[in-house]
Amino acid sequence: MIIEQTLAIIKPDAINRNLIGSIINLIEQNNLNVKDILMRRISTKEAKEFYKIHTDREFFSKLIEYMTSGPIVVMLLEGDDAVNRYRKIMGSTNPDTAESGTIRKLYGLNTTENSVHGSDSIDNADIEIKFFFK
């Protein structure tokens, strides 16, 4: 067993549709432990910093507008192989092509409003956890 930590976010589209509980259920049923949790809005400055690797992408401004459109739920998850396992539970970026049973396949609306975020590496998990949980 390799116990890891990762950062998960429930995005505004899922909050708006009362999906917080359903998404946390999927996370917990997969033996990932919620070690910390918060709900708040993020500023435009914070969103731009969080997604800075995508600054030059054509979807960047749409992404920032969306992520600041309402509150988000941010969670520190812990468990065996947490980074890769949570990415699998989320599914791929586009809900239409995401694997069946994944959060994005079940609940995502489109490639921008895809309900959840998850860190993509142990190094980024570390950076993202520090970003929200000092």
Q: Which is nearer to ligand IDP, 5 or 50 (CB)?
A: 50
114 binds ligand IDP (CB under 6 A): yes
Residue 27 and residue 86 in contact, taking contact as beta carbons nearer than 8 Å: yes
Q: What is the CA radius of gyration of the chain?
A: 14
DSSP character at residue 99? P
Select the residue interacting with ligand IDP from 111, 124, 126, 131 (CB under 6 A). Answer: 111
Q: Which is nearer to Mg ion, 120 or 126 (CB)?
A: 120
Q: Which does 48 bind (CB under 5 to 8 A by kind): Mg ion, ligand IDP, none?
A: none
Q: Indicate the helix (H) or strand (E) that contains 30.
A: none
Map the footprint of ligand IDP across residues 61-100, applying CB under 6 A. Answer: 63, 93
Q: Indicate the helix (H) or strand (E) that contains 67.
A: helix 60-67
Q: Is 117 a catalytic residue?
A: yes
Q: Indicate the helix (H) or strand (E) that contains 84.
A: helix 82-90
From the list 11, 86, 117, 119, the catalytic residue is 117
* Catalytic center residues: 117
